[in-house]
Amino acid sequence: MVSPVLIIAIGLGTAFALGLLGSSRKTLQFGATLTALAAMSAISVIWLVALVTGAAQTAEIHTAGAVPPFAINLRVGIAEAALLATVTLTGLFAALSLRAQLLKLGRGGMAVLLVLIMAISGLVMTRDLFNVFVFIELIAIATAGLVLLSEDPRAVCAGFKFLVVGQIIAILLLVGIIFTYHANGSLNIDDIAATPVGVQGAALAMFLLLIALVIELKTFPANGWALDIYTSAHPGFSAVFSAATGSAALFIVDKVVAPAGAEWLPLLTGIGVLSFVASNVVALRQDNDRRLLGYSSVGQLGLVLAVIGQRDVLGEAYLYVAGGLILSHAVAKAGLFWMSAMVRGRNLDDWAAIRARAPMVLAFATFIAMLVGLPPFPGFYAKWDLAQALVAAGRLPVLALILLGVLIEAAYLFRWFGFAIKREAPEKGLSANMVDCGITFAAVIAGWALGWIWGAIPGQHNVLATLPMLAVLAFFALEPLPAKIKNVAAIGALLGWFTLVFGDYDPMRLIFAVVMIPGGAVILLASFTETGRRIGFYPSAMAMYAGLALLLEATTFFEFFAAWEIMTIGSYFLILRGKMSEPHALSYMLFSLGGAFALLAGFALASGGIQPFALNQLGTVGAELAPWVFVLLSIGFMTKTAAMGLHIWLPGAHAEAETDVSPMVSGILLKAGLFGLFLMLMELGRQSLWGVDLTVVLAWIGAISAFLGAVLSIFQEDAKRLLAYSSISQMGYALFGIALMNHLGWLLAMMFVINHYVYKSMLFLAVGGVYKRTHTKLMYQMGGLITLMPFTFVSVLVGIIAMSGVPPLSGFGGRWIFYNAIMDAGLRLPLILIFMAGPVGFLYLFRLIHTIFLGQLKDPHRQLKEAPVWLLVPQMIFVAFLIGFAVLPGMALQKVDGYIGSIFGDQPLVWSGRAIASEFGYWNPVAIMVVIAVIFVSVFLILIAKNHDAQKVKQFNIVFSAERPYRPETTHFAWNFFAPYRKALGFLEAPVVTSFWGGVTDGLNGTAEFTRRFYNGNGQSYAAHVLLFVVAVYLIAMGGVA
Amino acid sequence: MSQIALTCGFILILAGLYGALTNRDILRMIVAFTVANTGVNIVLVAVGYLPGRTAPILDSAVPVAEAAQRIIDPVPQALVLTAIVIGLGITALMLAYAYRLFRLRHSLDISNFTELKW
Amino acid sequence: MTFEWIQVPYALATLFIILNYGLLMTAVVRKLAARVGGRPGIPVWQNYIDLVKNFALRSKINHGVMYYLGPVFRLSGGIGLILFVPTIYGSSWAQNFSFAGDLVLALYFIFFGTLGMALGAGESGHPHSAIGVSRGLAQVTTAELPMALAVYSLAIQYQTLSITEIVAAQQGGLFNWTLFTNPLAVVAAMFAFVGTMMRSPFDVVLAPQEIPIGPPTEYHSAYLALMQTNRAIFPIAKTIIYMNLFFGGAANWAEFAIKVFLLYMIPAVIGVVHPRFRVEQSIRFFLKWGLPVGILAILTV
Amino acid sequence: MSTLMQGLGLVIALATIGAATLAILTRSTVTAVLAAGLVSLLASVLFVVLAAPDVAMTEAAIGSGLTTFLFFFVMGRIRRESEK
Amino acid sequence: MIPKVLISVLLLLLGYAFWTLSVGYAPDTELNRTAAYYAANAESEVGAPNIVTGIIVTWRGLDTLGEVTVLFLTSAIIALVLSQSGGPSGVSGADFLPSGELLTTGARMLVPLIVLFGAYVIMNGHLTPGGGFQGGAILASGVLMALLAEPTRRFGHTAILRIESLSGSFYVLIGLAGMAIAGGFLDNGILPLGQFGTMLSAGAIPLISVLIGLKVGAEFSSILQSLHETEDA
């Protein structure tokens, strides 16, 4: 093992020696630079590996042959080694990224880069306060030098602002250091920490020291200078500035906190959280990509600073959490800056250029997921552990603010991703070359590898090391294959997984599993219509299914949450594929993440920091916390089921998705929320808060959703939106059923799980087929398609009969159970809404079938063909199932009924033969079917007997008001179909919820716009901000310490 | 003695900062920073000063055995030496920047260099 | 209760009685209304004549499958409704096929014919049919609401969803009728009854076109005959439900005939003396008057 | 340490502050640069009083010497630039 | 721009913090443990009577290496800054200071003396006040003098560059040698400590001082030259 000092020696030595190579041999100089950086990287990586595997112990390196505190010493432990590896590798890649500039400038530039990397490494290793100062100054000077590499003349201004602030930092730092030395008689960090301090003024000295280091982190609001650098510097350098310098600066704060003492931690937390939230808010209004990344960097550093401030409660998890966040940040930010080097335009929507290259999209998605902290990346694990620790320590406000910040960060990052995927690609395009792509992909690989490592650490559940996730990865590899082959593989994978696991599930899980896994496979049949390669579809879809599969497998909170997030990510990418879905996918993502954070908080509250916490221990939560856990989890789950108030993401997301995606996200994905609610209520049962029974609240929300969803649905002109609102209504029913908290209520909800999957999938596929042929989703532009698309018509017909609950199809079973269920329940008022929702639902369903298939056929549609056969196949399977399920509901429900009975300890339904009886009524599906069929057939036969020779006439052959209509359009009564209804009840359509969320968004954006005016571009103002920050924190801190 | 030097150093720092924050001329800002840096150096040295002792050089006047009782703290001096040199480096760099900025806009007024903002 | 083959002829007999009763009674009601208006009115056998005439008509056209099936759905709905509800309490042969399902089945099966008819009319391509359906559906959502609440109130009151058991609970005297034991529910239900019998003031649904529900411009011949048949039995079937739920049911055919006639007369009389509401007016009416009563009914039971 | 030294220190400190004030407040940049050099020079005297000869040497050579020349060089460049 | 009043208030508050520091400051009466260690071990460990030099070169050698690097960086960056900007030809110093015959002649005489003095200061750094930095700065003033005297003359850029690179590289190598054969990176014990208080003593300190002096001198010179000269260099 070579000594880590060599990192410094090699860096410096090479920098000095470059002058010997002669100014004309630039390539040689560049080669030497690369070699030196590679050697430095190699040393750090070797140490990292050795330390992690236990082959080496933390190294204490003494210089000058004396022991500390009398000589400067260095240390390399695991944290240091990891940071060193990050720093040196970033440096190596940065040299590659900057190669053109470096070769142009020659020796000087290369030397500066080498010294910068050397200095950052030194900063990471050193244990001496004044040495810290020297390295910081070296970094500052080198930064000021490298900023000049940019071709942007504004970089000069940025560099100068940076130097001005650097001077102020230096002054504060020196004064702080010398007084700390005076108080402690030592400059060695460990020595200071070990010695108790009694001297007056030591706290103030420590304050100056800390605040100077904190300003190095570019905390809000003392960070205008740094943002200018991010905006104008060469991105190859910005990557170093953000990833390497930022991480090292954090590490220094962390080092100094030990001698400073725990009383400074709250201050750091406060600064960090403020910086995190405020930077992210300001970033909302940013449209320059690099400045946006700058704000994001500042925010991320603030987040880690807050984590440093929480080290007292994190205990052993501290390194894991902080490290996860830092490394995620470093890798992702470096990667994004490198990508920014390839994108020619500077506006966010110029990133649409990357769309042409699928690997770039993958890279972009990876980096964003890392920043937001989504699985399987380290930030996700870190976020989880952080939440657990914070809740265990009762620091809920900190957690709430951090989650808020993450949410805002997700907002602009995913909005940006949406731009990249959906906006028109700019002409300027991309200047991709092998080297830039190579280093970007090195970052991508590093990101996934870190995800694996973070999961593989003992005591953690490795999200990536599960069969479904491996399958997802496999589908990345399959991407070059044609879509049809991948589709076979996907269906095979789903069915294979199902056969593997279904034996272990209890009946209720089994129902969910059938709907989610083989149910997904049935919908995938429709994907056979797609030709080409369909890049991006299968990894996303399989990620969603993997999430669902893991959700069912989950036994602990963590597994459940991880699965939940995976499912969300996958479905987000799926939804984003739709033509017009950009804003809707974003709002889907944000609501989902918001809901997920509610879950995170709820789980953390429930477990009280104990890990792993089994799902079925949820019932053991103490009586004081249980209602709160209930509230948080319900919010999380209801976001997924799109309960009224949290629903505004759904219509757009479901309606704008692709033809075969809509049924997946509607028919299948919504059930995840129900699954969660089932799990929660099974364990928690009824809970009351302030005397209010929370299940009653849920029932009300369910009823309101059922009613308003239906009302909104009837006013839609867009067929898919109509179906989407209908889903809100249907999920409202299910929610109501669950919230009844009795046997039949739950059975009702289970019935909805099955039925809604079947008929909503079927209807979405049918409408999708129509859309494929007519190229419109507006129903009033269709009409009369029954003769052209008979199969589609049949499936819609069966679908709406089933959905409206008209006997004999399976929807009626749901209604019957519903009536029996409410007989037991004490709830009466919300029932009014439910009662009304039923007929209202009939309205929109009729409209759907009428305006599309009946009425007059439009001229442009006369030549249409039936929908593609692969769209029809799953529909026909569903039709067959609906009829079968209508006759024999017992095949699915009887076992579940028994299982629910084992939960509630009762058995209200009696299954005798094929008839079902309850305490109140009875239901014989076979008899119903037979009677209706016999009557129908008899009447039909009579009609045929009389009218078999009826003359077929054109549909258009009609007369009204004694006139022949002129064009079919004029006689298709379809637009604003329920005009009287709108007149009477149109006020229910008022977009109250949308306005509310719109207000929240506008408020945030307004705050962002207002706040960013603060960055007026004047270097002196920035310097004054720094002073203002120092003084403000000083006043606060002294108030706190005194 | 050290109180006097300390106060003097702090006043120089504040004066320097005041100058740097109120003078819009870039060169004057740099001048102000050199004043502030000098102030910092004075503070550093003042902190290492022990009344009634001599410079930390062992010669005939200060034999090794008595050194600990006779000399003042050498550490701050060592630090100041470093700080002075670093200060010069930064000043030189800022001057070079000032020249670049001047070439960019033919102005030395800091408020003319604000196109990067928000 | 299970199925036995003997039930089939029993059911057919019931159906036959109700069909004739319906044909005659609607004619009588029309005649009464005409007399009140000072006109001579139709002969009481007029419905039979129309039925036979339409069945015999030779010229017939077809607009498509759903158009063809619409009347079939319609009539099946009417017949089914009768057959799923026990007609005469205590009679061994007039229980029909009520073993197949309870009150819930009857309530939801009402929509079967409506839906089919609406679809059939829709395929005729006539704009008026669509307008009629739109109005009808819009109105029915609020008109049925008090009924649903009343039924729920009733079900809680009697702790059963079985129509037979509800009727059984009302035996033994006039004051055991739901009308007296739960008057709020009955009032609420009567809102719905009046609202769904397609008479003034709630018959604007029929006004523009008379296709989906009333006699036809497009539907004719055997289509019309089927619909006329349904017109005779469907209101009776509905009235039977109300009779069973709220007015003690019928223990024999005479009681049946009287009660149905009287109930049927309620909307007829109201219709004669009230002008039409527009649809949004009826919606508001039901929400303003029917709904509160219904709510009271479920809260006080 | 005698009162004499104290007095000397005080005088030098006051002079330094005076020079600094001049450097900050004067209108002429040249005066400011020279005043800043003077501050350094006086500071190095103060260092001698504070028993720090090494520092004094450095401050004199670097702070008051080289730095001042750097300023003048840059000012010369700028002047020529603006004359052009 | 922020109003001056606001700045003043901010600085007053900062001044309050400084005032608190200064009021709370009491000079030590004894050397603290670090300083006491240096005082006690200056002879035995580094062998340099000038403890400050001992600290700078040995105990805090890493700082010094960094400090040298700062100058190195600065000179490199200034060269970059000025080479990028392009500018008028000619020299600048002449505008401010007369470069008359007297100065030229005086400079010719003075420069060798200054260089000599610099060398002395460097070589005696471990014995008397002075050392690599001070000496290097003095060397640079020699160059400065020459520049002022003969504005148009160009000094060997390459030579300065070579000196800078070589001295820097050697410094690092000596540091590594310390790691290889003595107690650690930058240990001066690679050479014998010698007779305390003599010129050739204190291990590698004089050698390092020379390297520092050369390097600092070269760097200062290069900075001065860069700022002084025209860009076409």
pLDDT tens digit sequence for A702-731: 999 999 999 999 889 999 999 999 999 999
**Cα distance between residue A196 and residue A183, in whole Å:** 10
Give the residues across from A188 on adjacent strands.
A128
The beta-carbon neighbor of B98 closest among D24, D40, D74 is D74
Contact E92 D54 (CB under 8 A): no
Chains A, B: CB contacts within 8 A come to 122
Q: What is the largest CA-CA distance in chain A?
A: 115
- Nearest CA to B82 among A816, E65, A335? E65
Q: What is the dihedral of CA A809, A811, A813, A818, to 10 degrees?
A: -160
- Residue A912 contacts C, CB cutoff 8 Å: no
Q: How many CA atoms lie within 13 A of C178 on its CB side?
A: 33
Chain C residues with CB under 8 Å of A977 CB are 130, 134
- Would you list the DSSP string of C65-110? HHHHHHHHHHHHHHHHHHHHS--STT-SSTTTTGGGB-HHHHHHHH
Phi, psi of A718 (to 5 degrees): -90, 125
The model's confidence at residue E231, banded by pLDDT at 50, 70 and 90, is very low
Q: How many CA atoms lie within 13 A of A595 on its CB side?
A: 28
pLDDT tens digit sequence for A334-393: 999 999 988 888 888 888 888 888 888 999 999 999 999 988 899 999 999 899 889 888
- Buried/exposed A121-148: b ≥16 CB within 10 Å, e otherwise: bbbbbbbbbbbbbbbbbbbbbbbbbbbb
Q: What is the largest CA-CA distance in chain D?
A: 58
Where among A936, A970, A997 does a domain terminate?
A: A936
**Cα distance between residue B16 and residue D22, in whole Å:** 11
**Cα distance between residue A807 and residue C81, in whole Å:** 11
Mean pLDDT value across chain A: 88
**Cα distance between residue B56 and residue A792, in whole Å:** 98
Q: Please check whether residue C223 is in contact with residue C150, taking contact to mean a CB–CB distance below 8 angstroms.
A: no
The beta-carbon neighbor of A159 closest among B44, B86, B97 is B97
Q: In this structure, what token pair is assigned to residue A352? A: 């649409």
Q: Please check whether residue A723 is in contact with residue A760, taking contact to mean a CB–CB distance below 8 angstroms.
A: yes
How many domains does one find in chain A?
2
Is residue C1 one of the residues assigned to a domain? no
Distance in Å from the first CA to the final CA of chain B: 48
**Cα distance between residue A894 and residue B36, in whole Å:** 84
Phi, psi of A343 (to 5 degrees): -80, 130
| DSSP-assigned letter for residue A992 | H
Where among A87, A110, A127 does a domain terminate?
A: A127
Chains D, E: CB contacts within 8 A come to 68
pLDDT of residue E153: 62
pLDDT of residue C15: 92
Q: How close B107 gets to chain E, by Cα (Å)?
A: 15
Chain B residues with CB under 8 Å of A1027 CB are 17, 21
The beta-carbon neighbor of B50 closest among E1, E28, E87 is E28
Give the residues across from C62 on adjacent strands.
A952
Q: How close E117 gets to chain D, by Cα (Å)?
A: 13
Burial class (CB in 10 A: 0-12, 13-18, 19+), A693: middle
Chain E residues with CB under 8 Å of A145 CB are 73, 76-77, 80
- E contact residues 44-73, partner A, Cβ 8 Å cutoff: 45, 58-63, 65-67, 69-70, 72-73
A594 has pLDDT over 90: yes
The beta-carbon neighbor of E186 closest among A19, A64, A184 is A64
Where among A903, A936, A969 does a domain terminate?
A: A936
pLDDT tens digit sequence for A796-831: 999 988 888 888 888 888 888 888 888 877 788 888
Helix, strand or coil, per DSSP, at residue A1021: helix
- Would you list the DSSP string of B22-88? H--BHHHHHHHHHHHHHHHHHHHHHHH--TT-B-SB-SSSS-GGGHHHHBPPHHHHHHHHHHHHHHH
pLDDT of residue A540: 92
| DSSP-assigned letter for residue E93 | G
- Residue E227 contacts B, CB cutoff 8 Å: yes
Tell me the residue range of the domain where B76 lies.
Answer: 2-51+68-112
Q: Please check whether residue A367 is in contact with residue A328, taking contact to mean a CB–CB distance below 8 angstroms.
A: no
- B contact residues 56-85, partner E, Cβ 8 Å cutoff: 56-59, 64, 67-68, 71, 73-75, 77-79, 81-82, 84-85
CA A601, distance to chain mean position in Å, is: 16
The residue-averaged pLDDT of A73-90 equals 91
E85 has pLDDT over 70: no
The model's confidence at residue A1041, banded by pLDDT at 50, 70 and 90, is low
Higher pLDDT, A459 or A776: A776
Interface residues on E facing D, Cβ-Cβ cutoff 8 A: 50, 52-53, 87-88, 90-97, 121, 129-131, 133-134, 137-138, 140-141, 144, 220, 223-224, 227-228
pLDDT of residue A48: 92
Chain B residues with CB under 8 Å of E41 CB are none
> Which residue's structure tokens are 């439910």?
A834
A288 has pLDDT over 80: yes
In the predicted model, residues of chain B with pLDDT beneath 50 are none
The residue-averaged pLDDT of A31-38 equals 93
Contact E92 D76 (CB under 8 A): yes
Q: What is the dihedral of CA A828, A830, A836, A841, to 10 degrees?
A: -130
Contact B89 E27 (CB under 8 A): no
pLDDT of residue A564: 93
**Chains E and D make contact, 3+ CB pairs within 8 Å:** yes
pLDDT of residue A201: 64
CA A975, distance to chain mean position in Å, is: 38
The model's confidence at residue A1038, banded by pLDDT at 50, 70 and 90, is confident
Contact E96 D65 (CB under 8 A): no
Q: In this structure, what token pair is assigned to residue A672? A: 């995840």
The beta-carbon neighbor of E33 closest among A19, A135, A185 is A185
- Residue E7 contacts B, CB cutoff 8 Å: yes
Phi, psi of A922 (to 5 degrees): -150, 165
Given 3-state DSSP classes, what are the helix, strand and coil percentages for chain C, each rounded to the nearest 5?
70, 0, 30
What is the residue type of A471?
A: A
- Would you list the DSSP string of A645-710? TS-THHHHHHHHS-TTHHHIIIIIIHHHHHHHHHHHHHHH---EETTEEHHHHHHHHHHHHHHHHH
pLDDT tens digit sequence for A116-148: 999 999 999 999 989 999 999 999 999 988 888
- Buried/exposed E195-210: b ≥16 CB within 10 Å, e otherwise: ebbeeebbbbbbbbbb
Q: In this structure, what token pair is assigned to residue C133? A: 């359906």
- Buried/exposed A309-348: b ≥16 CB within 10 Å, e otherwise: bbbebbeebbebbbbbbbbbbbbbbbbbbbbbbbbebbeb
Is residue C41 one of the residues assigned to a domain? yes
Q: Please check whether residue B65 is in contact with residue E27, taking contact to mean a CB–CB distance below 8 angstroms.
A: no
pLDDT of residue A806: 86
Give the residues across from E138 on adjacent strands.
none
pLDDT tens digit sequence for E136-187: 888 888 888 777 776 666 666 777 888 888 888 888 888 888 887 777 787 7
User: pLDDT in tens for each of the 301 residues of chain C?
Assistant: 567 788 888 899 999 999 999 999 989 988 988 888 888 888 989 999 999 998 888 778 888 888 889 889 989 999 999 999 988 888 877 788 888 888 888 888 888 888 888 888 888 888 888 888 888 888 888 888 898 889 989 888 888 888 888 998 898 888 888 888 899 999 999 999 998 888 878 887 776 544 444 334 567 888 888 988 998 899 999 999 999 999 988 888 999 999 999 999 998 888 888 888 888 898 899 989 999 999 998 888 7
Cite the DSSP H helix spans in A75-106: 78-97, 99-105
pLDDT of residue A966: 76
pLDDT of residue C124: 81
- Chains meeting A at 3+ CB pairs closer than 8 A? B, C, E
Is residue C276 one of the residues assigned to a domain? yes
What lies within 8 Å, CB to CB, of D65 at 6+ separation is D37, E137, E141
Nearest CA in chain B to D10: B4
Tell me the residue range of the domain where A680 lies.
Answer: 467-936
**Cα distance between residue D72 and residue E143, in whole Å:** 16
Q: In this structure, what token pair is assigned to residue E151? A: 């504005």
Is residue B118 one of the residues assigned to a domain? no
pLDDT of residue A673: 92
Q: How close E105 gets to chain B, by Cα (Å)?
A: 29
Is residue C155 one of the residues assigned to a domain? yes
A1017 has pLDDT over 70: yes
Q: In this structure, what token pair is assigned to residue C205? A: 């649904």
| DSSP-assigned letter for residue A429 | -
The model's confidence at residue A789, banded by pLDDT at 50, 70 and 90, is very high
What lies within 8 Å, CB to CB, of E211 at 6+ separation is E132, E167, E168, E170, E171, E174
Is residue A593 one of the residues assigned to a domain? yes
Cα A924 to Cα A736, A758, A909, A921, C113: the distances in Å are 25, 22, 12, 10, 20
| DSSP-assigned letter for residue A425 | P
Highest average pLDDT, of A63-72, A1029-1038, C231-240, comes from C231-240
How many domains does one find in chain C?
1
Q: In this structure, what token pair is assigned to residue A331? A: 């890798």
Helix or strand (DSSP H, E) at C62: strand C61-62
Contact C100 A927 (CB under 8 A): yes
Query: Where do the DSSP E strands lie in A491-584?
Result: none
Is residue C256 one of the residues assigned to a domain? yes
Kindly report the length of chain B. 118
- Residue A111 contacts E, CB cutoff 8 Å: yes
> Which residue's structure tokens are 């720094």?
A1026
Domain-wise residue ranges, chain D: 3-83
Cα C70 to Cα A153, A455, A660, C65, C73: the distances in Å are 77, 62, 32, 9, 5
